Amino acid sequence: MQRRGEHVSSVGAAQRSLWGSPRRPDAVAVRRLTSRHVWEGQYIRRLRVTDVVAVAASVALAQIVRFGDAGLVSTMTYTGVSVVIAGVWIAFLAVFRTRSPRVIGNGAEEYRRIVSATFRLFGVIAIASLLFRIDFARLYLAIALPVGLMALLLSRWIWRKVVAQVRSKGEYKTSVLIVGSRSAAVSMALSFEKSPSAGYAVVGICMPGYEAPRDGVVSVEGSDIPVLGDEHDVLAAIEECGADTVAVTATEHLGHKGIRKMIWDLEKKDVDLVVAPGVVDVAGPRLVMRPVAGFPLIHVEKPQYNGATRFSKTAFDLTFAAFVLVLISPILLAVAIAVKATSRGPVFYTSERMGIDGKPFSMIKFRSMTVDADKQVSHLLDQNQGAGGVLFKMRDDPRVTPVGKVLRRFSLDELPQFLNVLRREMSVVGPRPPLRREVETYNGEVRRRLLVKPGVTGLWQVSGRSDLSWEETVRLDLSYVENWSMVGDLLIIAKTMKAVAGSDGAY
């Protein structure tokens, strides 16, 4: 087994291959030897370059559009202004830590910091213009702000895609040593394995109370992860596996003194420590750290699906649904004609679904099956491919019409559900609309799905659709209920367009 110095050297050679070197590490070496410290520096430098290009291009474009035909004096004056604004803009991006290793590649938080830095910059400009009576050209600022902001967000989005692609090849990983019980460690390792874009690779486990031989392994998704001792062997395990981060997922064996000692020990080795609070499927905005009596307590705020937040969601739903129905009316007409002309029966199909608080309603869809499809279910139950047997799904369902296959592939059959949104029976984004027979099987935990309106789309739609297991479907729906936000809804809508275009998991 390599020691720490050999580890860093090997990682450097491995990572240099990403940027043109002909030598590529094999998959096993990358999984076990990836160092966060090597690739993070490269990544941040490239972000800095693209940020400068985006800001400089936006202020230059604003100046050209606004003062392209102005005299030499005006042009030179605003050239100086543009240089100052660009410099201060870049400084704000640094001050608000938009390139912090804690947020780069993390999506929403990275974008939020960029938006915050940009708007605060222009807020400062507005205040300065009032205090010092500086007359900035409004068109100049009106061009520079949105163009620069969009350029910054687009460049970060492109970099995220590049990193995700590189990580899919086993590179640009943060190697993690997990400290926790077998079940907790396996659960965390499995989560990392299912989310390769997160960039975490588990290279070892330390189990409290572990007394088996040091060559023991834990198998996760076909990969064997070595067990390197117990909670007292963390430092030796880091030397052995070359981990960049220690993730503690069970603290009862360590206690607060053990955690504190581990923090001090890891500081000397430049290794990060993260502690899983044990709160599952609760998003960051609901977790608030508050020191109480010398203890850092994590307060879990209540979900935001009552009162004013529910009103704002309803207002958004009605506005968005009305806009979409007007926009897609030609498509609705074309689909209706196709359904009527190619098979016997009505254009629309209504199905009873259970809405908020378990109230039934009739969900509207374009008919994609034969008229007597419901009567044939009992004869096809033995071919059910649905999630856990609770849902009925067949990849090649004989009841689906030829036109229905096309409608289902691109989710066109679900477009009339925006009428349910206008009737306030559904939401644009929410949990999957359940059948009565599904709700009758719900336990107390699963019934929390009924605290909000079902959605035309949701996390289940952008995470695999019909390919999801029943447990994954429930977990995603409960995660949505617990962590609803308007920004989250907008992100899901954007991801839905991509998922529908790719027709992944649709049948």
SS3 of residue 34 by DSSP: coil
SS3 of residue 49 by DSSP: helix
Cα gap 1→28, rounded to integer Å: 13
Predicted confidence at residue 147, as pLDDT, reads 93
The parts of the chain modelled with pLDDT lower than 50 are: 1-34, 71-73, 387-389, 505, 507
What is the torsional sign of CA 79, 80, 82, 86?
positive
Which of 376, 397, 400 lies closest to 386 in space, CA to CA?
Answer: 397
Distances from the Cα of 32 to the Cαs of 103, 234, 270, 337, 459, in angstroms?
Answer: 24, 16, 18, 58, 32
Cα gap 44→40, rounded to integer Å: 6
SS3 of residue 105 by DSSP: coil
Cα gap 310→389, rounded to integer Å: 33
Residue 175: what residue type? Answer: S
Q: What are phi and psi of 298, to 5 degrees?
A: -95, 115
pTM, two decimals, is 0.62
Q: What is the 3-state secondary structure of 355-411?
A: CHHHCEEEEEEECCECCCHHHHHHHHHHHCCCHHHCCCCCCCCCCECHHHHHHHHCC
Cα gap 8→479, rounded to integer Å: 38
Cα gap 59→90, rounded to integer Å: 12
Cα gap 337→447, rounded to integer Å: 39
Q: Cβ distance 426 to 456 under 8 Å?
A: yes
Predicted confidence at residue 29, as pLDDT, reads 41
Predicted confidence at residue 483, as pLDDT, reads 75
Predicted confidence at residue 302, as pLDDT, reads 60
- Strands 287-292 and 295-300, by their bridges, are antiparallel
Cα gap 383→387, rounded to integer Å: 12
Residue 210: what residue type? Answer: Y
